[in-house]
Structure 1
Amino acid sequence: MQFHLNGFRIGDPSLRPRSNKLAERTSDKVDVLIIGCGPAGLTLAAQLAQFADLHTMIVDQKSGPLEVGQADGVACRSIEMFEAFGFAERVLRESYWVNETTFWGPTEENPSVIGRTGRIQDVADDLSEMPHVILNQARIHDFYLEVMRKSPSRLVPQYDRRFVGLKVDHTTEYPVTVSLEHKDRIETVRAKYVVGCDGARSSVRKAIGAELVGEAANKAWGVMDVLVDTGFPDIRFKSVVRSAEQGNILIIPREGGYMVRLYVEMETLTRGERAKDRNITIDELIGAAQRILHPYHFDVKEVAWWSVYEIGQRLCSSFDNATQDQSATVFIAGDACHTHSPKAGQGMNVSMGDAFNLGWKLAAVLRNQSPDSLLATYSMERQSVAQELIDFDRHWAKEFSERGDGQTGRDPKAFQDYFEEHGKYTAGVAVQYAPSLIRSAEADQSLATGLEIGTRFHSAPVTRLWDARPMHLGHALKADGRWRLMLFNNRAEPTDPSSELWQLCEWLMRDPSSPLALHTPAGADLDSAIDVRTIFQQPHRNIPAENTHPLLTPKKGRYGLSDTEKMFCARPGFDIFERRGIDRSHGCAIILRPDQYIADINALDAYDTISRFLDAVFSRAPRV
């Protein structure tokens, strides 16, 4: 964390300086209006709250913050994202870590009795530096709310406000007029953009004429968080239990060391029937769990929360109200535009991914950094991701519901193998965006074979040059809306003025046609739009940091202080060049989007290619 740039401040360093524009703002005109305080809405709000010059409002029909959450599984990729917001450490401290997963099925000797059929590592080595964890959704909401409160805009949700409807008039500065019901009266808010994060029964989705299409669920499932006395030996492991005749259970240990969540397979539903029509009780859920877990005793002492549900795999064909003639002004995210079964643990994670994709794009357009055509990439990218995950979820749910009883001819190990083969999906790191305005189709993948174009930047351990701090490179990438230019040096000496890296830095810093010259706003710090960072192959003790190019220690703030956190070195024992397949002889320049996805990979001397890509992404910065 960096602070004191513009003067010494006492107190909590995570409390950002308050925007001087707050007093000018009114509640009836906003840049972005977010409907819904779920995972998607709060992720989006936390991102937009970082920009002091943007006016964001978030509303929810509930009377206050969530207290007991439905979702609990947090994928590795989501925790990487939490690191960018500054609260990953708190999530890791409070959560249950899913280290291993066990598999149970009927024994050969007695199919009415279950036995362990397998036990595997939950997340493969080096898939992510973050684990798969379990934490109450309400706590994740709490962390986002704190980020919002401490942001320059001091953003807090407006509760007890129900979305009634919207109208769009593209001829006005604030084209979307939204009606909200609050305490028996109607409030009107005019917005430049509206984002519906209001769940599977989204009113915003209906208001723009979009529809969730897909398969209706035909199976009722129960879920319960319980304190239980049991002889089941794997009660503190994530466990998949498939019985011969009694159904299936997914066991998820909860944070705190004692509570456990069970997803219990119940009854098959008839066409058009809802789970609530069956009037299933908590006693029936407990009874089903006891039968599936036979011969182990399962004595529930307390039920903290329970529910019965059915969820099909459904998807909207578009996530916005764009037409051939008009750019989008209304977007939907999360469950409002796609639903999944909870068994794969993807719902909350994909919803937050939607918002992280959209937030920086809205900020870039509203701040005149990028053309509004950038916003078209949201629906294109996230609709494709949702479709891929629905396809995976459909197969996952089918595999889960199969019974390994030998009578179906299925190998009990087949589900375990499927789980291992698709670890990237459950970890949230399988996303790969297609070529677009913000993802090059001409990247030189040979320069970094382990960092795939269109995927999230896969972090690795490094040593920071100026202070020898060991850290993960990806943890330097904060949710601040900036693009990154990651320069991996070749074998040349870091202080050699004739090297390709030095010449690239010289061009970036001095040439009036370079992306930094063209796209940095007048009077702003040199890294305010494009943040340049460098990784050297040499050990940190062999590099005199003071003799490297001045671009890599830029002067910033009102005092012109040097930023000494831009340069890193490969770490012995876990060399980032080796682990990520980076060409040692040539090095490379990797362009990262603000959401940490790899947009382009180029040679260190590919000035024209770097310029063309970034010039298309950015609007020209005002030179006043």
Structure 2
Amino acid sequence: MGQTIAGEKVEAVESQTDVLIIGAGPAGLMAAYWMAVCGVKARIIDKRGTKVFTGQADGLRPRTLEIFDSMGFQHRVIHEGHVAVEANFWVPDEAGKLTRQGPHCSPKINESNHHNMLLNQGRIERFLIDTISKYSDLEVERGIIAESFEYDEKLEEDLDAYPITVKLRTLSDEEANPGHISKDGSGSQPANGQGRGSVLPDDWEELIQKSRLRQTKTEIVKAKFIIGCDGAHSWTRKQVNILLEGSSTEHIWGVIDVVPLSNFPDMRRLGTITHSSGTILVIPRERRLVRLYVPVQIVDSTSANRFDRSAITLEMIKSRVQAIMSPYTFDFQICDWWTAYQVGQRVAPAFNKGTRIFLAGDAVHTHSPKVGLGMNMSMQDGFNIGWKLAMVVVGAANPAILDTYNAERHPLAEMLLEFDRLWSGEFTETTDADGPAAPDKADRMVHVVEKYMDFADGLRTYYPASPLVWKVSEEEGPEAARNLIPGERFSPIKLRNQAEGNSKWTTRLLESDGCYRIIVLAGDVRVEEQKKRVEALGRFLSAEDKTMISPLHRYVPIPGRKDQIEVITIHSAPWKEVEFFDFPEIFRPFDPVMGWGYDDIWCDNSCTWDPHCGGQGYEKWGVDRTRGAMLVLRPDQYIGWVGELEEVKDMTDYLDGVLIKMPTPEV
């Protein structure tokens, strides 16, 4: 079948999909997860013949790990990854001798139930791919590139239309599986070759099969929406003429993942080593690996020639590490991966083009990898646009929520670049060759980390007011719950299940399954007045009060789910002094097959056999233990609305603004 696209006559198979995702890195896979969960007809393509196995990103921040918990695979990260909660800074003393300053630990280390971890990107991709397969048959189509693009803006407002046309081409094995040094000079395979020792068993089959190439050589795809997650040189971004704004530094860095042979005391501790000519970042990893970031040369910023990565060798990087680490020794026999890069701190002016084209991850923000945030920011971009777009496509959410993607994620990308400029500057600062580094180097580095800690770890997100975020004010939370601020995450607490007494973190309880959740903080239901307030709320939610409209059973659910809204109740009375059946039935709904909703009622009470279950959730949330409060959580566990138990009309108004109501039955 022939068609003219971008002025070219092509013979190709034609197909349609609701969402086309270009790029199967962490951001793309996060978006694909939501397509699988919500039953969206989607495709995800990637030019690589295989997934990543070694190298690339490796830092995982607490908020990212909380998200993994909600997706059900955080236990795999814990099993394989390396926890990094303390850092040492080595700087020369007045005599020029390297001395340790530290360890330094985050003052907010217990703000999350998860701590910073280190694990290579390839394993995260594996976990995401496996999780997607639990929900649908959506698979990454590898060894495929997009070659041409057309967008019919006249069809933008018609959600049933396919305004996007993309021509796809299947790559040859040679194109899809380049060697160690690709055309841009980055390392795509370990220097000593990949083998069973460097690839875990669940990745081995994909490695030996390489690209699973499709038989069709050319295909024309019509799509309703497209998400470009195709990296810093994003093809998708270029098609819609969105340029990255910013600049590159003059410093060239080498990165190596090695099993070190060294007498340096802190080789297995997170930290830095400062020399008059630069600073090394030391990152201990899984399987005895250690990642080292080291400055290797400075380029002439006035030169018209681009940085030539091929001029940097593995031996050059090793020599620089040895020089900076002296008098300690350094060598290795095993190098899992290495590359060289020039830092480019850039951000796109917008993360979308109209209401059909979205960009995520490195496609819209690039920076130094030394801040350990790139993969986290990229995945959270994909997570954010993924759930919103999936719910719109299946007809469960108002298309206006798509406008919140840029408003929520773009300011964070700008904050990331600001953090990176300060942090990376500490690594490139030099002194006279014969003089020691600045004596306050360690203090300055700690100051930068602590200044951006809430942002970097995801403890604060700063999402602005919007249809998805019902803010009382930009500065303070509602009186009912001082620390539960719309636009921020629901701070994790370990709770005790009322029916069985076992404990569970809220990050696991509140699954990323596409549901909105009404969290009823029921307070102390032993108090008669409070019990009456909870019963009144129950009557409203069960539609017994005919003067008001319950939000339950009111909205279009995602495919495969009975309802869009789930109710979770968390009370504050002592566990033994309250019974499961004391609560109105709407809080513990009965299913004729599965029985009562035993997983729907929880207690913020201490558990003697679980030190993490301390019964301090209400205090952490800033909620009165007697009166309680009520909130609505978005599908991504961010708070959308907060109020008193009686403020049911405001809550319903909030939900009406973002969800699609069920059709009114015909009389």
The TM-score, its normalising length taken from structure 2, stands at: 0.84
1:46 equivalent to 2:18? Answer: no
The answer on whether the counterparts of 1:196 and 1:336 sit within 8 Å (CA) in structure 2 is yes
**Match of residue 435 from structure 1:** 465
Whole-angstrom CA distance in 1 between matches of 2:84 and 2:368: 19
**Match of residue 170 from structure 2:** 182
Whole-angstrom CA distance in 2 between matches of 1:307 and 1:593: 40
Q: Which of 98, 103, 111 lines up with 1:119 in the alignment?
A: 103
**Match of residue 304 from structure 1:** 336
Which one-letter code corresponds to 1:62 in the other structure? R
How big is each residue's C-alpha offset from its partner over 1:441-465, in whole Å with a ceiling of 9 and x where there is no partner? 2275232223333111110111011
Q: How does 1:316-395 map to 2 (within 5 A)?
A: 316-322=348-354, 328-395=355-422
Q: Which of 590, 608, 611 lines up with 2:649 in the alignment?
A: 608
The answer on whether the counterparts of 1:522 and 1:621 sit within 8 Å (CA) in structure 2 is no
What is the CA-CA distance between 1:183 and the residue it aligns to?
A: 4.6
**Match of residue 137 from structure 2:** 154
* Number of residue equivalences: 586
**Residues 564/101 of structure 1: CA separation in 2 closer, same or farther (3 Å cut):** same
**Residues 49/118 of structure 1: CA separation in 2 closer, same or farther (3 Å cut):** same
How big is each residue's C-alpha offset from its partner over 1:151-203, in whole Å with a ceiling of 9 and x where there is no partner? 1x211111111011221224371121111111583211111111011000000
**Residues 608/623 of structure 1: CA separation in 2 closer, same or farther (3 Å cut):** same
How big is each residue's C-alpha offset from its partner over 1:537-564, in whole Å with a ceiling of 9 and x where there is no partner? 11222111022111111134x7363221
**Match of residue 269 from structure 1:** 299
What is the CA-CA distance between 1:425 and the residue it aligns to?
A: 3.0
**Residues 485/364 of structure 1: CA separation in 2 closer, same or farther (3 Å cut):** same
Whole-angstrom CA distance in 1 between matches of 2:105 and 2:410: 31
Secondary structure, counterpart of 1:50 in structure 2: helix
**Residues 234/55 of structure 1: CA separation in 2 closer, same or farther (3 Å cut):** same
**Match of residue 465 from structure 1:** 498
The answer on whether the counterparts of 1:178 and 1:188 sit within 8 Å (CA) in structure 2 is yes
Indicate the percent of aligned positions where both proteins have the same amino acid: 32
**Residues 62/277 of structure 1: CA separation in 2 closer, same or farther (3 Å cut):** closer
Whole-angstrom CA distance in 2 between matches of 1:177 and 1:342: 34
How big is each residue's C-alpha offset from its partner over 1:96-146, in whole Å with a ceiling of 9 and x where there is no partner? 1113111111112x22x3111221125733221001111111011111111
The answer on whether the counterparts of 1:276 and 1:308 sit within 8 Å (CA) in structure 2 is no
Q: Which of 94, 99, 105 lines up with 2:91 in the alignment?
A: 105
How big is each residue's C-alpha offset from its partner over 1:209-236, in whole Å with a ceiling of 9 and x where there is no partner? 1111112222111000111211110111
How big is each residue's C-alpha offset from its partner over 1:240-274, in whole Å with a ceiling of 9 and x where there is no partner? 1111x231100001102x21110002222222554
1:58 equivalent to 2:68? Answer: no
What is the CA-CA distance between 1:522 and the residue it aligns to?
A: 12
1:295 equivalent to 2:337? Answer: no
The answer on whether the counterparts of 2:38 and 2:394 sit within 8 Å (CA) in structure 1 is no
How big is each residue's C-alpha offset from its partner over 1:27-63, in whole Å with a ceiling of 9 and x where there is no partner? 81111110011010011111211123x2111111111
What is the CA-CA distance between 1:583 and the residue it aligns to?
A: 2.1
Ranges in structure 2 where 5+ consecutive residues have no aligned partner = 1-12, 173-216, 607-613
The answer on whether the counterparts of 2:55 and 2:337 sit within 8 Å (CA) in structure 1 is no
Whole-angstrom CA distance in 2 between matches of 1:360 and 1:616: 16
**Match of residue 531 from structure 1:** 566
What is the CA-CA distance between 1:428 and the residue it aligns to?
A: 2.8
Q: How does 1:8-47 map to 2 (within 5 A)?
A: 28-47=15-34
The answer on whether the counterparts of 1:127 and 1:424 sit within 8 Å (CA) in structure 2 is no
The answer on whether the counterparts of 1:590 and 1:602 sit within 8 Å (CA) in structure 2 is yes
The TM-score, its normalising length taken from structure 1, stands at: 0.89
Whole-angstrom CA distance in 1 between matches of 2:651 and 2:525: 21
Whole-angstrom CA distance in 1 between matches of 2:62 and 2:322: 32
The answer on whether the counterparts of 1:369 and 1:621 sit within 8 Å (CA) in structure 2 is no
Q: Which of 223, 237, 246 lines up with 2:277 in the alignment?
A: 246
What is the CA-CA distance between 1:402 and the residue it aligns to?
A: 3.4
Whole-angstrom CA distance in 2 between matches of 1:298 and 1:37: 36
Whole-angstrom CA distance in 2 between matches of 1:289 and 1:509: 67
**Match of residue 94 from structure 1:** 80
Which one-letter code corresponds to 2:147 in the other structure? V
Whole-angstrom CA distance in 1 between matches of 2:560 and 2:582: 25
**Match of residue 456 from structure 2:** 426
Which one-letter code corresponds to 1:282 in the other structure? L
**Residues 614/145 of structure 1: CA separation in 2 closer, same or farther (3 Å cut):** same
**Residues 522/114 of structure 1: CA separation in 2 closer, same or farther (3 Å cut):** closer
1:518 equivalent to 2:551? Answer: no
Which one-letter code corresponds to 1:606 in the other structure? E
Ranges in structure 1 where 5+ consecutive residues have no aligned partner = 1-25, 323-327
**Match of residue 597 from structure 1:** 638
**Residues 394/363 of structure 1: CA separation in 2 closer, same or farther (3 Å cut):** same
